[in-house]
Amino acid sequence: MKKFQKSLLLLLLLTGISAFVNAQVLKPVKWSFSTKQVSNSKAQLIFTATIDPTWHLYSQDIPPDGPVPTSFTFEPGPQYKLIGKVKEPKAKEEYDKNFNMVVKYFADKAVFTQNIQILSDKDFKIKGVLEFMCCDDSRCLPPDEVDFEFSVKGNPDAAKQPEQEMTATAEIPADTAAAVVVDDAEADSLKADSGEIKSADAGGLEEHSSLWTLFFFSFIAGLAAILTPCVFPMIPMTVTFFLKEKDKVKAKFQALTYGVSIILIYTVIGTVVAITLGANFANFLSTHWLPNILFFLIFMFFAASFLGMFEITLPSWLINKSDSQADRGGVIGSFFMAFTLVLVSFSCTGPIVGAILVASASGQVLEPIIGMLGFSLAFALPFTLFAFFPRWLNNMPKSGGWLNSVKVVLGFIELALGLKFLSIADQTYHWGILDREIYLAFWIIIFTLMGFYLLGKLKFSHDSDLKFISVPRLSMAILTFTFVLYMIPGMFGAPLQALSGYLPPQSTHDFDLNRIVRDNVQVFGAGGGGTASEKPTGLCDKPKHGELLHLPHGLEGYFDFEQGLACAAQQNKPVFIDFTGHGCVNCREMEARVWSDPRVLKKLREEFVLVALYVDDKTQLPESEWITSTYDGKVKKTIGRKYADFQISRFNVNAQPYYVLLDSKGNTLVPPKAYDLNVENFLSFLDSGLTEFKARQ
């Protein structure tokens, strides 16, 4: 009995602490800034994040559909020059249920460093702003910004040797680095700059499983490229080139040179992409509409080529010139033989190589190089092996129509994957082109057509006659149609978690059976509330931002506080404020499990004026609606910044979801409510607000 009493007391204590925490402005990440003077010409800016227990801070390397990555923006100035990008310590990489994806994050403490070249002989300051987002196991805070300022000593040698200082990288001597290092994270950053690489790092690949994943899929793509009609028939043709050499040792050396040359050519392409684009271009590529639309068009162009609409070819003079150099023999001849293969096979490998580069260019600098290395290694492997062991050619399957079938299947896959880039631009700029069900409809149709093609029911002009269906082809058709059947429930609201990384968010789904509420409270669809016989409550006027933002379950409301408050005064109703966000997973869970209750929906629809305030929306407000925060003194220019500041300034809280009931004058009726999946508790919250509102009349 005593144990039970102690357990009950502990439970009540934890509940009280939780309620207290939910009513505070949470600051789980504290930042501090310091400068390390490495030499006269070089300094290191250190950003130290101290993270509260159970919370985590996200890395700079986050997928586009995930949480907001940590980013650093520096005010430019003639006194200094950035060397490389901001470096971060090794991040943990785990599945995050808040965003239903694998993300990189830091716990307890994280130290970011930025090396700079000092170009001024006078002391100066470096200012800027960093943006970050943090979550714990049950909630996320909206993105936050922190201003930073560093004091840097001038370089007395800058006036004497300006040109040298501007171009030198000023390597850090080992003893200097040791003198300024405070912790392991800083030490790793400095050692990397001085040319030292930790043996456990092995070039960084072990620390980045995403690079291994990219390498693996690029390797598979290289194997797929071999099975295209532009490449497969060339295997015996090119191997014959090496059989002309009577000296077997020399022939094998030339074959090895041939394979290495193929790898070198493709890897150089990846290196050029990495140097010209690189990680600094990542944010632009992943969020701006222009590159995403360009990538979408590139994928569609490649898909059309694979499906036989046209053939991508390089100028004949380039191929002929390379082929003439291949006749010289030796190492040079082997290299140009490889170069000729790359050129001739471009019509089939170009779309695959382009897809890898497009997918990897928006990531780290290493990714295009790793992608091309994996592709070229697989691509060069059969040519090199058959050149070493020419007798294997006797066991090769004959080229024929099956090669073109591989090419067409790749075309269908390119069509499907290309839609992802259009979807990213669509979500970022609220175009409404590819809502979830439209996106799924495209995929269902594309893969259904692909299944019929595999069964021989769909034929293109350049296809040969299919006399019978082979077992491998039938197996692929079965897998394709199984995938199609898996996607069909998604048209009616099924989450399809296996595809969450590719599909638009569930909130963009218009026809969602999960929104059907029993007892005839709501009809299908996301358009107005009520049953088929009920007339929706209606609004006072057209909601601002209503074309961009939406309420769940067909509820009607506002997305601007002043507009909602004015309507509440006109209709003499209390105001229900929903502080929410596009990336708020707990908000979606509350809407799905609590708001969907018929009793809750009825009260929200009939008794309140609903105001949903999105704290993370990036839509720019007109200048007349900008506000200067009373909390931090900054100008808020977007919908998200404005209402995140409103939540903090007015209610001293910055976590979502957060529900507030106000009277028509803007006064709080009852204590606000946070995340709570108990429907009865939420109904009690609404009822108490209504009772208090009527008592004040």
Q: Cα–Cα distance between 524 and 662 in angstroms, integer?
A: 30
Is the pTM here over 0.75, yes or no? no
For 528-546+555-695, CATH number?
A: 3.40.30.10
pLDDT band with cut points at 50, 70 and 90 for residue 76: confident
Query: What is the pLDDT, as a whole number, of residue 450?
Result: 94
Each residue of 95-126: b (16+ CB within 10 Å) or e? ebebbbeebbbbeeebbbbbbbbbbbbeebeb
Half-sphere exposure of 345 (CA within 13 A, CB side): 29
Q: Could you read off the pLDDT of 357-390 as tens digits, one per residue?
A: 655 554 455 677 777 888 888 878 877 777 667 6
The two three-digit tokens of residue 648, written as one number: 């903090």
Question: Does the structure show a pLDDT above 70 at 515?
Answer: no
The two three-digit tokens of residue 215, written as one number: 């390498």
Max CA pair span of the chain: 104
Query: What is the pLDDT, as a whole number, of residue 514?
Result: 58
Q: Could you read off the pLDDT of 546-602 as tens digits, one per residue?
A: 888 888 777 889 999 999 999 999 999 999 999 987 756 677 778 877 888 889 999
Contact 70, 126 (CB under 8 A): no
Assess whether the region 29-164+189-195 and the region 528-546+555-695 belong to the same CATH fold. Answer: no
What is the fold, at CATH topology level, of the domain defined by 29-164+189-195? Immunoglobulin-like (2.60.40)
Q: Cα–Cα distance between 149 and 34 in angstroms, integer?
A: 9
Overall average pLDDT of the 465-489 stretch: 90
The two three-digit tokens of residue 54, written as one number: 């159970």
Please provide the average confidence, as pLDDT, over all residues in the chain.
74
Listed ranges 257-271, 488-502, 627-641; the one with the highest mean pLDDT: 627-641
Higher pLDDT, 135 or 452: 452
Higher pLDDT, 13 or 604: 604
Sequence-separated (6 or more) residues with CB below 8 Å from residue 297? none
| Phi–psi pair at 131, nearest 5 degrees | -120, 140
Q: Which three-class secondary structure string do you get for 409-472?
A: HHHHHHHHHHHHHHHHHHHHCCCCCCCHHHHHHHHHHHHHHHHHHHCCCCCCCCCCCCCCCCHH
Helix axes 330-344, 346-361, angle to 10 degrees: 80
pLDDT band with cut points at 50, 70 and 90 for residue 263: confident
| Phi–psi pair at 147, nearest 5 degrees | -80, 140
Q: Cα–Cα distance between 323 and 60 in angstroms, integer?
A: 46
pLDDT above 90 as % of the chain:
22
pLDDT above 70 as % of the chain:
65
Overall average pLDDT of the 412-441 stretch: 80
Residue 345: CB atoms within 10 Å = 20
For 27-31, 152-156, 520-524, which range has the lowest pLDDT when averaged over its residues?
520-524
Tell me the DSSP string of 602-671.
HHHHHH-EEEEEESS--PBPPGGG-EE-TTT-PEE-BHHHHHHHHHHHHHS---BSEEEEE-TTS-B-S-
Q: Cα–Cα distance between 434 and 413 in angstroms, integer?
A: 18
Residue 363 is classified by DSSP as S
| Phi–psi pair at 96, nearest 5 degrees | -110, 115
Where would I find the beta strands (DSSP E) of 356-399?
none
pLDDT band with cut points at 50, 70 and 90 for residue 280: very low
The two three-digit tokens of residue 253, written as one number: 């050396």
Higher pLDDT, 360 or 100: 100
Residue 52: CB atoms within 10 Å = 15
Give whole-number Cα distances, 272 to 148, 211, 217, 290, 412, in Å: 34, 18, 21, 21, 29
Query: What is the pLDDT, as a whole number, of residue 53?
Result: 86
Question: Does the structure show a pLDDT above 50 at 607?
Answer: yes
Contact 553, 595 (CB under 8 A): yes
Contact 258, 326 (CB under 8 A): no
Please name which of 568, 540, 573, 563 lies closest in space to residue 643, comparing C-alpha atoms.
563
Q: Cα–Cα distance between 82 and 72 in angstroms, integer?
A: 12
Compute CA 566 distance to the chain's CA centroid, rounded to the nearest angstrom. Answer: 39
User: What distance, in Å, lies between the first and last C-alpha atoms of the chain?
Assistant: 49
Domain residue ranges in the chain? 29-164+189-195, 211-398, 528-546+555-695
pLDDT band with cut points at 50, 70 and 90 for residue 297: confident
Q: Cα–Cα distance between 143 and 127 in angstroms, integer?
A: 20
Query: What is the pLDDT, as a whole number, of residue 214?
Result: 73
Question: Does the structure show a pLDDT above 60 at 27?
Answer: yes
For 143-147, 390-394, 441-445, which range has the lowest pLDDT when averaged over its residues?
390-394
Residue 619: CB atoms within 10 Å = 15
Please name which of 314, 319, 371 lies closest in space to residue 347, comparing C-alpha atoms.
314
Compute CA 296 distance to the chain's CA centroid, rounded to the nearest angstrom. Answer: 16
Strand bridging mode 609-614 / 575-580: parallel
Please name which of 375, 125, 426 lies closest in space to residue 226, comparing C-alpha atoms.
375
Q: Given phi > 0 = left and psi -120 to 50 = alpha, else beta, which region is 74? A: beta
Residue 283: CB atoms within 10 Å = 14
Torsion (CA) 52, 54, 55, 57 in degrees, nearest 10: 100
Question: Does the structure show a pLDDT above 70 at 397?
Answer: no
Question: Does the structure show a pLDDT above 70 at 54?
Answer: yes
Residue 564: CB atoms within 10 Å = 26
For 152-156, 197-201, 488-492, 624-628, which range has the lowest pLDDT when averaged over its residues?
197-201
pLDDT band with cut points at 50, 70 and 90 for residue 444: very high
Contact 76, 135 (CB under 8 A): no
The two three-digit tokens of residue 667, written as one number: 């006064």
Q: Cα–Cα distance between 385 and 392 in angstroms, integer?
A: 9
Residue 69: CB atoms within 10 Å = 21
Query: What is the pLDDT, as a whole number, of residue 244?
Result: 56
Please name which of 374, 51, 76, 5 lies closest in space to residue 216, comparing C-alpha atoms.
374
Query: What is the pLDDT, as a whole number, of residue 275?
Result: 61
Count, residues in the chain: 697
Q: Given phi > 0 = left and psi -120 to 50 = alpha, else beta, which region is 456? A: left
Q: Cα–Cα distance between 655 and 135 in angstroms, integer?
A: 10
Question: Does the structure show a pLDDT above 60 at 322?
Answer: no
